[in-house]
């Protein structure tokens, strides 16, 4: 299953070190389930998006994902891909960038021809460079955000609501970041997505550095031993009891000052829900925990 990780560090950039293929099991075990791509997105001091990513097909060197990257940003978005649609190419590797925003997705849905027709009607087919359902979902969010005057939360709501009503859906979990804001969605209940609001000042002194590790992605930051931050991940990344699973249908927004707002704007039920048995074998394999 794809792995998502999002971090909002507040108004000031912080340094963090990332590994995108970091797991407690052995390399022999990892070799049986290497990813199809890995990437991380950040923003520079001028708010411009920066993405480092690599398609990691089975015949390629995995050094990119195993080596540490030292980065500085206010928000971070990391993704390890297990392909459900599209070849192992750079254009199909997350995160994606559109209109200065970054996006990553964990899930699957079908009806891409129908979605392509809808995107053509909205005049945004040029945003789609690859073959994935994920990039198409992002293009729809971008189109709806433009139609709502730049309101990303409204754009996400309109896009996901349209897909939930019109297309067969397995999962639409996602994270969108800018240099100042972060949005995360868990919809429907298929896959989990967890959130942690961490304030080191409230922890016993001295607070420990951030050292978050999941079953593929690891992040470490001494800077974040001093300042509040908000984390999102496919699974809890440490033993902090503050991790909570997002509820199905929940949209969380983290503001530039780390104010966290949760809403439930999506349809209660999918019009055309999919199960693993409904997916193509490769897509089904990519969605298993």
Q: Which residue has the higher pLDDT, 91 or 226?
A: 226
Average pLDDT, the chain: 88
Instruction: Give the mean pLDDT of 166-171.
Output: 97
- What is the rounded distance in angstroms from the CA atom of residue 232 to the CA atom of residue 285? 24
> What pLDDT was estimated at residue 72?
97
CA distances from 81 to 117, 136, 140, 219 (A): 26, 16, 21, 17
- What is the rounded distance in angstroms from the CA atom of residue 271 to the CA atom of residue 259? 33
Give yes or no for a contact between 213 and 254, defined as CB atoms under 8 angstroms apart: no
- What is the rounded distance in angstroms from the CA atom of residue 119 to the CA atom of residue 102? 19
Which three-class secondary structure state does DSSP give residue 161?
helix
Whether the pLDDT of residue 59 is over 60: the answer is: no
**Whether pTM exceeds 0.85:** yes
Quick count: other Cβ atoms within 10 Å of Cβ 204?
Answer: 7
> What pLDDT was estimated at residue 285?
58
Whether the pLDDT of residue 25 is over 60: the answer is: no
Could you report the per-residue pLDDT of 115-156, keeping only the tens digit for each? 999 999 999 999 999 988 999 999 999 999 999 999 999 999
- What is the rounded distance in angstroms from the CA atom of residue 9 to the CA atom of residue 183? 14
What is the C-alpha end-to-end distance of the chain, expressed in Å? Answer: 5
Whether the pLDDT of residue 58 is over 60: the answer is: no
Output the CA angle 188-76-124, nearest 5 degrees.
Answer: 60
Give yes or no for a contact between 160 and 187, defined as CB atoms under 8 angstroms apart: yes
In the β-sheet with 210-213, what is the strand arrangement from edge to edge? 69-73, 14-22, 216-221, 210-213
Q: Which residue has the higher pLDDT, 93 or 283?
A: 93
Whether the pLDDT of residue 287 is over 80: the answer is: no
Instruction: Give the mean pLDDT of 88-92.
Output: 69
Beta bridge partners of 41: 51, 77
> What pLDDT was estimated at residue 53?
87
Closest by Cα among 177, 179, 180, 171 to 246:
171
- What is the rounded distance in angstroms from the CA atom of residue 274 to the CA atom of residue 271? 10
- What is the rounded distance in angstroms from the CA atom of residue 221 to the CA atom of residue 27? 25
Per-residue confidence at 24, pLDDT binned at 50, 70, 90?
low
Output the CA angle 218-105-150, nearest 5 degrees.
Answer: 115
Please tell me which of 192-196, 201-205, 209-213, 273-277 the model is most confident about, judged by mean pLDDT: 192-196
Could you report the per-residue pLDDT of 170-199, keeping only the tens digit for each? 999 999 999 999 999 999 999 999 999 999
CA distances from 73 to 41, 160, 175, 224, 252 (A): 9, 28, 16, 12, 20
Could you report the per-residue pLDDT of 228-264, keeping only the tens digit for each? 999 999 999 998 899 999 999 999 999 999 999 999 9
Residue ranges of domains in the chain, CATH in brackets: 3-287 (3.60.20.10)
- What is the rounded distance in angstroms from the CA atom of residue 10 to the CA atom of residue 178? 12
Whether the pLDDT of residue 270 is over 60: the answer is: yes
Which three-class secondary structure state does DSSP give residue 155?
helix
Whether the pLDDT of residue 32 is over 50: the answer is: no
Give yes or no for a contact between 214 and 266, defined as CB atoms under 8 angstroms apart: no
Beta bridge partners of 51: 41
Per-residue confidence at 79, pLDDT binned at 50, 70, 90?
confident
> What pLDDT was estimated at residue 28?
44
Instruction: Give the mean pLDDT of 19-30.
Output: 60
In the DSSP assignment, the letter for residue 8 is E
Per-residue confidence at 30, pLDDT binned at 50, 70, 90?
very low
Per-residue confidence at 200, pLDDT binned at 50, 70, 90?
confident
CA distances from 249 to 77, 129, 192, 279 (A): 21, 29, 11, 22
């Amino acid at each position: 299953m794809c792995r998502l990780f999002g971090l909002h560090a507040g108004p000031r950039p912080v340094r963090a070190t990332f590994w995108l293929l970091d797991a407690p099991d052995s390399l022999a075990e990892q070799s049986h389930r290497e990813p199809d791509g890995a990437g991380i997105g950040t923003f520079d001091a001028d708010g411009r998006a920066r993405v480092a990513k690599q398609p990691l097909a089975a015949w390629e060197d995995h050094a990119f994902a195993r080596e540490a990257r030292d980065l500085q940003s206010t928000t971070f978005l990391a993704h390890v891909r297990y392909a459900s649609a599209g070849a192992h190419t750079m254009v199909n590797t997350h995160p994606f960038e559109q209109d200065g925003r970054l996006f990553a997705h964990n899930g699957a849905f079908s009806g891409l021809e129908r979605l392509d027709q809808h995107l053509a009607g909205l005049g945004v087919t040029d945003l789609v460079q690859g073959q994935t359902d994920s990039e198409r979902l992002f293009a729809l969010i971008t189109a709806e955000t433009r139609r709502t005057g730049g309101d990303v939360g409204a754009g996400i709501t309109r896009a996901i609501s349209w897909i939930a009503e019109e297309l067969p859906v397995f999962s639409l979990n996602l994270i969108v970041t800018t240099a100042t804001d972060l949005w995360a969605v868990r919809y429907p209940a298929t896959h989990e997505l967890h959130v942690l609001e961490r304030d080191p000042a409230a922890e016993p002194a001295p607070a420990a550095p951030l050292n978050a590790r999941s079953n593929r992605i690891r992040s470490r930051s001494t800077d974040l031993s001093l300042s509040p931050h908000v984390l999102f991940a496919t699974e809890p990344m440490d033993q902090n009891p503050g991790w909570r699973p997002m509820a199905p249908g929940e949209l969380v927004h983290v503001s530039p000052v780390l104010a966290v707002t949760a809403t439930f704007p999506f349809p209660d039920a999918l019009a055309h829900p999919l199960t693993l048995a409904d997916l193509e074998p490769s897509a089904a394999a990519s969605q298993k925990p």
